[in-house]
Structure 1
């Protein structure tokens, strides 16, 4: 190992990545983000002196200005959102006012216990975050602070679905600060609110941490849960109700997102967005893995960026193998293989690094391959690299976090489990294997490098994907564009309806409360009454069934109960598959892999949400083939670009899995195919679409023979590029294209949200259509392949095996459509004045 310290030497670390110039051709761009000095201010006069002493004992002599501005607003009773970079100390901003309030109540109760004005209920605090791991991390940090402050009279506890009943009763009776997650609120605390009456009646602050993670359908669910919480707090409490303090990564218009999440007016939310903490210089490299020499693959093969065992169409199912692409000009090395080599070189050089991957399997793969590289150089180095992901036991995660903090481990290959607020600092390098889905996530991950004012190096390594390829060759789309708004739709009836049932089960819904849930609530309640879910009385709406209303929905679900995968011989449950993906992934004959062991599906019972599998060693994987049709139910908005029409509205998407192919692993030789007899699945959701009349197609030289392939290619590429504009991933979206649609009577391209009722992503695409299609056109035209590849027009989730596709015709089609587009000026890719997070 080299004897120099890598800390603060980002240029030298960049040279390690470049291998002294041998890998220079892989570097597509270097962005140097200058250092930022911090701005400290005095502690607020209202702050509890013991807490201030505790922070000082922990090394915080004076706070940063943004911390005090947020804390002041919260102390004054204003709903507050603090949206600043990773490592900027957001937790101090919410704990200082919340704990000062609790300490003040404790002190008042001790003044003179015999006086009636001293007999009061101690104020309480509820802390919510997306994961149990983050709540546990906050508990550790709070214990450290309260110990340093000699304030152990503040009673703090975590409480979630894993908490034992005896401990839960103690929390209900005595805890001043309860750390939990929205799922526990939904399933337990709110339905059992009478047992939590003490907490709800005394609730002064609700902290919503990492609130940018509440997006899409999950965000809509959490918005409904927070409205239910506000309603019960008002029922039990007095005065204006609790003050909400939200902590977020840097996002676009955080006040609007926070107000939508809480159900309050944006004017009632104070947004603190100017980061006054210090930051070291960041060197940010964009990187494209090399082409693999001597490889050429035929059109008939499918991209290996999809899990060859076909265990699910989600990020968890994406796996990189040693060759990412088997279509197109020449395949490139996979992002995970490239990351493993870079991580090994950085470890040898003495750097402390994190490598972010897109899936649990990829994190394990990067760690294993990196260890192999290191063992060949110095066997003692292999033990300094490990994987970190969800699914590990809490004690395993804590040990890994401690090891990377102390330097016993030099590198972790991780999923986005370390993107959120778990305290990992002092790292030199962050490697990111593929676009993480949003700029918000990108800057959260990048913020792990060079924290606490030190220099840091970040490298984004592209996968063979339209968006990744576009970004590493268009740095302005990362560095000159604003971060996205957090997109979710609290009015989604498929999300809101079960929460209205849950709210009515908690307390009968009154007419004066309906505004809390949105303007369409009364209409939705009428539907629920008509279906027998609720009963209308003069005093309100009542839940009259005996089962739990909260069990009608899961906050993280996608519609329908998850399908359980069960080993038929033993009855052992191996795992679950989203209901929407079940017919394509666990159909009869499908290969299912669990912890490296292969099974074959023998029966699928969708009505019972069960797939039975049998243990079998096979050397092939299975790929489903399906057809999709789409019907427009209603048009909510429409706009014309001359002869081109854009629409946004509600659609029915009908999908039927027709057959599957068996392909040998790893060369993907087709071994055979089999027909399937599965029912049509219908998804009612939101979609954006654009139509092209025959005259425009003719002007572009697109014949009847070319039109299906041109439209199909444009559809694929546009799905790949929409995540630039909305906080989503391509796996959150679906698409349909047709040269003549029965509803529009024209050639039409649809892109729809892959969730019942919609998630807000398609609507975002509708409002930013010109920006979206310009990026799509550039991604296709800028790709070096001749006829199309996974980096431009092929899709890893196409049900038609990426056929037909016409790259050149797609470019002409988009040119023809964009000729009628409004002039540039929309927010999005071309924005050049936005501040780059650091």
Structure 2
């Protein structure tokens, strides 16, 4: 494809696909390579990164130069309290930017507002100004701040405390707050900094004790609200409705002030989250230094082959570890975002080992940061990063929304984070002091990553996504309504005005029929006053809770893992990493939520294998792409459906691999099956069409399987989801459809809107999937096109060529039938 404006001349846009296994070369402290004719030598930090590339490799696929943006300042509004203006001025805010004043003035006027601007655009001041003014004017008023991460909440509390208003008694109320401090916060604090989890489990269930605070609540700040999407976002949307309902009962109508990264349709997304109309401010008046954005594909390692003989490329984490070391040698403060906890640990460890060969003192200035660390560990790392003691940090997305890090020179994104919004949020961590900065996206062994580095317009030239959440999901509504009824009986009027009307009524009726709630003339009641259902409802996951990881010999708690993922990550024999130290799991007890481990440094890693079955519960929407076929053209026998399914999965074994990717052995496991009731989109193709297209019966399973894998990999391009939020299954003859079928399903109970999005975007989604497979240069399939890192069948069978044939049949049906029409006037299946 032709290079986009700003492309680095000579950068390859047609490199082969990638695979994750192999160690990186050590950092090379040498000058950047000289320029060739007509090709300028990359300067600055990108030149340093390229200087560490072994000769003969060409991993750079695209470079874009993002220009600087000047500031657009404004005067302090007349309504701002003089003490608040003076305090903010003492902290370095000479004059506010235009978007800060616009959002703050709407909040001051009592209008719910969302400020949707880029990272480092000063969104904090937009809510600090009206909240500080309101609390200083009214000595009895209170405010509540909610953030998706503890690190962000602690950082924002520190910014407010720096203003010096002791009378506000601003305080933190989260899971790390000592029990003896919680009573003081509830009784005395006028600005409480918390998170949705504490609101759900503690504040609302004990609202009588919080009555004085709720009665005087004037502002509710919801920071980084774009993080509330999918199942988590649906829970938080209903949680905020529970808050509004109780505030109304105490006589308060707080103003909601939301801060968000740049998202599509921010007003609609924020309104869906809060349940009331919200006005959006999107014009960004903050200054921004120039940034270089580079797209990077790790090199092919010709001496190695991976699973089923697939080509092997260096992993994104290994490449990021090498880059991190090179940048630290240069003295650049660098943050590397890695997709998994284990990946963050390994990337930091690789960088530290490489640096130890250059300068042992530098090795101590690199660390990992991730969820699961103990509170004191997180605080120490945050302080070291903020002070500059740490030069390089490998982090999960725990720091995407974390502390306000100033002065970073570079950000490495090891694997596309799932959405363009998250990518730009992570990229915005670089250059926060207005200086020139470097952002590098390093592709993983994933169809979406490979597609993006070779189609940069899909990342850099398209708007960010809108958030997907569904507060009417019955699997979310049911537990949330039970929690609401336990807090205070739910009335008919509240069902209609707060909780969604008819769907909520149906869920309440089901809860009464199941004996969970009781119906009285005054409303729906929780029948067990001594029990609180909120304690049993996990708003962030499947509801399965957490598994605690404990070192058996010492009894030391190392961290926690979601119970839903524990069978795949903490099964007996699994390798678990903590702070760069390896442990091997001895025992996993899901009933007790406990995993026992011992310290060990094995020369192998582990990956779980599972089997999956999908049963159709109710096909809600059905589309026939040939509902209006052209004259003389027979119907193609292709249908697309959307509906409820039951997914049963079971971890049955795990692989032990050497660092080269070689499989040492497959170890069987006896783990309990897990059942998920969720939503799926699926298509069927009559076998006669596949046979007529040249696929014999023996090739059909592998062709469908390959098409399924690639579709899962590309759906995040069209829905705000991650590959790990969705799953799939394919079969040459499904008992419920009676035909060859490919399923793609949500990975959350009741669904999170991803299957619906896939149904609505079926045409573009499958077209991108087909192009990604056909454009991959591997001979028979690899992780960049049709292999999946979580395939329970070991990526076998897979038929790359057959997958293209399958997708061509579906796309031809969609094309010949125009916009597909479902039998119930549902949204189009192709657009």
Is the structural similarity TM-score above 0.5? yes
**Structure 2: how far apart are the matches of 1:572 and 1:426?**
36
1:13 and 2:45 correspond: yes
Partners of 2:570 and 2:576 within 8 A in 1: no
Distance 1:207 1:3, change over 3 A: farther
Equivalent residues in 2 for 1:59-138 (5 A)?
Answer: 59-106=92-139, 122-138=140-156
Residue in 2 that maps onto 1:522: 505
Q: 2:760 aligns with which of 749, 767, 787?
A: 767
Residue in 2 that maps onto 1:628: 612
**1:410 Cα shift?**
2.7
Partners of 2:31 and 2:51 within 8 A in 1: no
Give a deviation string over 1:725-767, Cα, whole Å, max 9, x none: 2222111111011122233222211110111111111111111
Residue in 2 that maps onto 1:26: 59
**Structure 2: how far apart are the matches of 1:675 and 1:376?**
40
Residue in 2 that maps onto 1:319: none
**Structure 2: how far apart are the matches of 1:592 and 1:535?**
48
**Structure 2: how far apart are the matches of 1:274 and 1:566?**
49
Partners of 2:372 and 2:561 within 8 A in 1: no
Equivalent residues in 2 for 1:191-202 (5 A)?
Answer: 191-202=205-216
**Structure 2: how far apart are the matches of 1:606 and 1:154?**
44
Equivalent residues in 2 for 1:807-826 (5 A)?
Answer: 807-822=800-815
1:37 counterpart SS class: coil
1:714 and 2:707 correspond: yes
**1:65 Cα shift?**
0.9
Residue in 1 that maps onto 2:288: 279
Q: 1:227 aligns with which of 210, 224, 241?
A: 241
Partners of 1:75 and 1:97 within 8 A in 2: yes
Partners of 2:374 and 2:559 within 8 A in 1: no
Partners of 1:85 and 1:275 within 8 A in 2: yes
**1:211 Cα shift?**
0.8
1:481 counterpart SS class: coil
1:705 counterpart SS class: helix
**Structure 1: how far apart are the matches of 2:499 and 2:540?**
20
C-alpha RMSD of the superposition: 3.0
Gaps of 5+ in 2: 1-28, 33-40, 627-635, 821-826
Residue in 1 that maps onto 2:690: 697
**Structure 2: how far apart are the matches of 1:796 and 1:217?**
23
1:38 counterpart SS class: coil
1:688 counterpart SS class: strand
Higher alpha-carbon deviation: 495-504 or 181-190? 495-504
Gaps of 5+ in 1: 107-121, 300-326, 832-838
Residue in 2 that maps onto 1:159: 173
1:260 and 2:272 correspond: yes
Higher alpha-carbon deviation: 18-27 or 33-42? 18-27
**1:408 Cα shift?**
3.8
Q: 2:539 aligns with which of 555, 563, 588?
A: 555
**1:61 Cα shift?**
1.6
Partners of 1:2 and 1:349 within 8 A in 2: no
Give a deviation string over 1:172-201, Cα, whole Å, max 9, x none: 222211100111111111011011111100
**1:254 Cα shift?**
1.2
Distance 1:652 1:51, change over 3 A: same
1:654 and 2:648 correspond: yes
Residue in 1 that maps onto 2:417: 436
Partners of 2:66 and 2:293 within 8 A in 1: yes
1:54 and 2:87 correspond: yes
Residue in 2 that maps onto 1:313: none
Give a deviation string over 1:415-455, Cα, whole Å, max 9, x none: 22221151112222111111112111110111111224322
How many pairs are equivalent?
A: 770
**Structure 2: how far apart are the matches of 1:73 and 1:500?**
32
**Structure 2: how far apart are the matches of 1:514 and 1:198?**
25
Partners of 1:336 and 1:362 within 8 A in 2: yes
Q: 1:328 aligns with which of 310, 321, 331?
A: 310
1:449 and 2:481 correspond: no
Give a deviation string over 1:688-738, Cα, whole Å, max 9, x none: 111222343234322211111011001011111111122221111110111
Q: 2:358 aligns with which of 364, 374, 377?
A: 377
Distance 1:390 1:586, change over 3 A: closer
**Structure 1: how far apart are the matches of 2:487 and 2:31?**
63
Instruction: Please give the TM-score of this superposition, normalised by the length of structure 2.
Output: 0.87
**1:59 Cα shift?**
2.0
**Structure 1: how far apart are the matches of 2:142 and 2:751?**
36
Distance 1:582 1:503, change over 3 A: same
**Structure 2: how far apart are the matches of 1:27 and 1:584?**
34
Partners of 2:306 and 2:661 within 8 A in 1: no
Partners of 2:373 and 2:558 within 8 A in 1: no
**Structure 2: how far apart are the matches of 1:540 and 1:39?**
53
**1:639 Cα shift?**
2.6
**1:593 Cα shift?**
3.6
**Structure 2: how far apart are the matches of 1:566 and 1:347?**
33
Equivalent residues in 2 for 1:399-798 (5 A)?
Answer: 399-515=380-496, 516-519=498-501, 520-545=503-528, 546-562=530-546, 577-584=561-568, 590-591=573-574, 593=576, 595=578, 596=581, 598-599=583-584, 601=586, 625-642=609-626, 643=636, 644-657=638-651, 659-660=652-653, 663=656, 665-666=658-659, 680-798=673-791
Partners of 1:216 and 1:488 within 8 A in 2: yes
Partners of 2:409 and 2:431 within 8 A in 1: yes
Residue in 2 that maps onto 1:249: 261
